[in-house]
Amino acid sequence: MATNTANGAQRESQIRAEALKNEANKLFAEKHYEAAIKQYTEAIEADPTVTAFYTNRALAYIRTESFGLALSDADKAIELNPSFAKAYYRRATANMSMLKFKEAQRDLKTVVKLNPRDPDATQKLDECSKIVRRIEFEKAIANDEVTKSPFDALGDIDAIVVELSYDGPHINDSGIDRDFVVKLMDHFKKEKKLHRKYAYKILKETTDLLRSYKSLVSVSVPENGRLTVCGDTHGQYYDLCHIFELNGLPSPTNAYLFNGDFVDRGSFSIEVIFTLLAWKLVHPDQFHLTRGNHETIDMNKMYGFEGECRAKFNVAAFNAFTELFNAIPIANVINDKIFVVHGGLPSQDNVTLDMIRQIDRFKQPAGNDLMTDLLWADPQPFMGRGRSKRGTGFQFGPDITEDFLKRNGLDLVIRSHEVKEAGYEVAHGGKCVTIFSAPNYCDAVGNLGAYIVITPDLKLKYEQFSAVPHPNIGPMKYSPLRGF
């Protein structure tokens, strides 16, 4: 009798789990990934023995860039069923996204072994193997010699001839002005290129300007005006233009702060970054930039910006961009009260704004330093610090936010770095705000974009917007990870 009761309860749990999974699949198809994750989690709690529940949740984690959690789910699925090819494929995808290519290669070999007639698996293995060989080649030819500035490789910029056939905007003798940028934006909308002479000139002048700043910049909301904080734009040029259409072009009274991750993933990163740099030159005191984790070499090589730069210009331009990205400040403080950073807060206690101000940022993040923390960290609802859901960096709780703000006389943290379905999220008792400005991220997520309008009295207004149409060029066009 007891056995029958137990079997009945187990069957009820299995039926409930299957229903939860079906609801989660529906939410996933509608691109409500966070809600789908919750339903998959309930399904797993009801019946933790079903391999597919873990691989389904792993894919939802991948969509939200929680690659570390996806990896854990794939591991559990493999533990339950070592012959389940999809679990190895999910683990390979998570490892690829975390730039762990040899680990991904091993799993893809297993997928091919389990499904030798699957042409997609064979293709993915070949693509991954090419990346592994490329990385090994680049390591082999690398050296520690001191090299000249990447700008030396661009040659004498002033001597470059602009052909008569070029029909784009020109920089006159007085330099870059508002009229030039407006024409440049329209030129880019028509899918036309900026002449390399002007591209190099913008790169050089902006790098020189950014080098003059500390790693933490004091920003002021214009009197009788406003400051708009935007999050990740990720190469979504037409959505960037839409922000300016909705909120107005930059001006002395309509200031902007773009909080990192300008490039990669979207296939119009060149157009995004040159538009932002040009506005920075026109309004240096009212247009601000923060470095994101995608303004780094490793990410650019894998998520598309290097390939796009080579396709639209050349490798010399990419190397110059690397130097420019190294010069972008790491954080900003608005009116001495609002801390703005791309990722999050430090992994150590007792960090002050002056310590951040003195960071030597003119390099790539080391992976275990204060700069890496600020570029990569994410908030969590739990107290203390925890393991990152991304597989890189760490997470910080509301107590960490409260302590950092109190120690530095601040009221609020604004950060970006994470896609949010509503375009923004207010956490940690209203003390930590995430803002994300790439709607329908990667043409796949279905999220809204958002930005924050801040007035001189430091009141915040959240503005949401939807994605707009763009030319028929999908995300990751220039990335070796395309298709994963």
Q: In Å, how far from its chain's centre is CA 228?
A: 19
The answer to whether residues 108 and 128 touch, using CB atoms and an 8 Å cutoff, is: yes
Other Cβ atoms less than 10 A from the Cβ of 395: the count is: 21
Q: Which position among 283, 288, 294, 428 bears the catalytic label?
A: 294
Sheet holding 385-387, edge to edge: 378-379, 394-396, 385-387
Concatenated DSSP letters for 39-69? Answer: HHHHHHHH-TT-HHHHHHHHHHHHHTT-HHH
Per-residue tokens: 223: 């009197």
- The contacts of residue 334 (CB under 8 Å, 6+ apart) are 219, 220, 221, 227, 229, 257, 340, 454, 458
294 included as an active-site residue:
yes
DSSP state of 424: E
Nearest to 294 by CA among 266, 336, 274: 266
- The contacts of residue 276 (CB under 8 Å, 6+ apart) are 258, 262, 287, 289
Concatenated DSSP letters for 129-166? Answer: HHHHHHHHHHHHH--------GGGGG--GGG----TT-
CA distance 359 to 374: 11
What is the SS3 assignment for 30?
coil
Sheet holding 424-427, edge to edge: 216-219, 331-334, 338-341, 412-415, 432-435, 424-427
The answer to whether residues 464 and 423 touch, using CB atoms and an 8 Å cutoff, is: yes
Question: Which residues participate in catalysis according to the annotation?
Answer: 294
